[in-house]
Amino acid sequence: MLKKERQALILREVNIHNKVLLSDLSEKFTVSEDTIRRDLQELANRNKLIKVRGGALSRSYHSYSYRENDIYAYQEKTVIARKAISMLRDGMLVLISGGSTNKEIARILPPELKVTFLTMSLSTAQQLLEHPNCETIFLGGLLSPTAKVSIGGEVITQLQQLRPDICFMGANAIDPDHGLTDSDWEVVVVKRAMLKAATKTVVLSIAEKLGSTQKIQICELNNIDYLLTELHPEHDDLKGYRERGVKVL
């Protein structure tokens, strides 16, 4: 595989999953970690990603801009956000995670909507504050320097005391056989607590993440109530999820 082709595939992995590990990329592309490290540095030098110790982060995941060129799969994420908003009703208590799709939900909320949001994500909370008819409660704790969300025992304790009507959870990877997975243990623990707290859980995922897996399981599909993608609900790529009882919108 040529370096240019490999770097394009690395960048796609980063944009789809928000965060990638150097060791995983080395295994996936069957090259040394030193080679991947150089690839990541070159991509970072071109402002294509954010290089961190042991891996890389997507620039769109950390972007506060909503210009189409700054957000990966912007149009698809807007379609998903509109589907999510259609599920909201005045008076709801809504738990919402981080990620660019959830920030898009926060950005395009109808101004007349009166909902109370709970979030551990700094960027989601900041965007929610733009809506005067919605209340925003930030669930605090130790902040993850990469995910920019609260993690640890304090936020888990807060979640155990809540019973939100609905939870909007971004997906890093989702697969019919392996369920919802992620690569960050501390984030996984928080997401498991979110699942337990919510009356209904809605997972948001662009179609490119369907059929993908990461190393740590958050939950099986039977713990998810709804899956929202930009695809039509009857699309063939969603068949495996429908067959396992997930409502697809």
Q: Domain extents for the chain?
A: 3-58, 68-248
Instruction: Please give the CATH topology (third level) of the domain spanning 3-58.
Output: Arc Repressor Mutant, subunit A (1.10.10)
Cα 180 to its chain centre, rounded Å, is 11
CA triplet 10, 183, 34: central angle to 5 degrees?
45
Q: So what's the pLDDT on residue 59?
A: 80
Q: What is the pLDDT of residue 63?
A: 55
As a whole number, mean pLDDT of residues 216-220 equals 97
Q: What distance in Å separates the CA atoms of residue 229 and residue 147, rounded to the nearest whole number?
A: 22
CATH architecture of 68-248: 3-Layer(aba) Sandwich (3.40)
Mean pLDDT is lowest, of 13-27, 82-96, 185-199, for 13-27
Sequence-distant (6+) residues with CB within 8 A of 42 are 7
Query: What mean pLDDT comes out for the span 218-235?
Result: 97
pLDDT digit string, tens, across residues 107-147 = 999 999 999 999 999 989 999 999 989 999 999 989 988 88
Average pLDDT over residues 97-102: 92
Q: Would you put residue 163 in left (φ > 0), alpha (ψ -120 to 50) or beta? A: beta
| Higher-confidence position of 220 and 141 | 220
Q: What was the pLDDT predicted at 66?
A: 53
> Average per-residue pLDDT in the chain?
92
Over residues 200-211, mean pLDDT: 97
Mean pLDDT of 95-111: 94
Q: Each residue of 151-174: pLDDT tens digit? A: 999 999 999 999 999 999 999 999
Q: Over 90: is that where the pLDDT of 60 sits?
A: no
Place of tokens 């069957």: 30
At residue 16, the pLDDT reads 87
Confirm whether pTM is higher than 0.95: no
Contact status, residue 34 vs residue 74, Cβ threshold 8 Å: no
Angle 191-81-243 (CA atoms, 0-180°, nearest 5)? 65
Q: Report angle CA 24, 182, 143 to the nearest 5 degrees.
A: 105
**pLDDT band at residue 67, thresholds of 50, 70 and 90?**
low
pLDDT tens figures, 15-43 = 888 888 899 899 989 999 999 999 999 99
